[in-house]
Structure 1
Amino acid sequence: MLDAMSDSPETPSIDGNEAVARAAEQARNTADRNIPSLGDLPVAEDTANLRQGPSLHDGLLALLPLIGVWRGEGNAAPTDGSDPYAFGQQLVFAHDGENYISYSSRIWRLDEEGRAVGPDRRETGFLRIDLK
């Protein structure tokens, strides 16, 4: 399990080449993931898969690496005095060809064996570029 929130010396560090190699492997493993679609909208649907749907808006090309469905696990170190806990998370960055990217995050708590034991937090929003 990754310890994404720790600054301890026990957390292994990796160099940039290894990070890129890991990201490429993750992309191969998740290339077919997309957000569910009902298929009956009269406009382009959001897509989290650059191989499907409309092209990404030219003004958002710098954010192209974000587009996708990302999943992972980590450890939270709450600042409110509550106990640290393990969690799983899914992030979805999607677009419909317009000048913004939508995102959603779902987090669930994990037990000591890594099994999901219930929801934790959820967030949605968007990133929009200024066309002026």
Structure 2
Amino acid sequence: MMEQLKQKLMENEHLKPLVENLSPIYIKYYFISLIFFAFAIVYSWFSSQHQSLGFFQSLALIIVAPPIGALGAYLGEKFREFAKPDVIRTKNTAELVKAKLFWKFGPQIIGWLIAVMILGNIIG
């Protein structure tokens, strides 16, 4: 599916130089981050507990945050590929499940969170 999306974007001459160098993994993390931030913005609009973002703040957040979050998740994925152990030894099944879940999702989530925290400090 990601390859089809990439092929579709490559057909547009203006986007071709940008899309040629993008990894399908980065595109996947971009859309996951976009959906998360869109949900967070809609939640902030309708929630009475949190301060609502204005239209232009929401627009700026939806434009700037997903690429930064996707970059953090992508770097976490590359770190996972580099550092993932070949063998995981544990004493019981619960520890094995925790270790496998960590190495499946942990570095990407940590990278995404670090990128979002840096973005939050830049934005203020």
TM-score by length of 2: 0.29
Of structures 1 and 2, the one with the larger relative CO (CA 8 A, separation 6+) is 2
TM-score by length of 1: 0.28
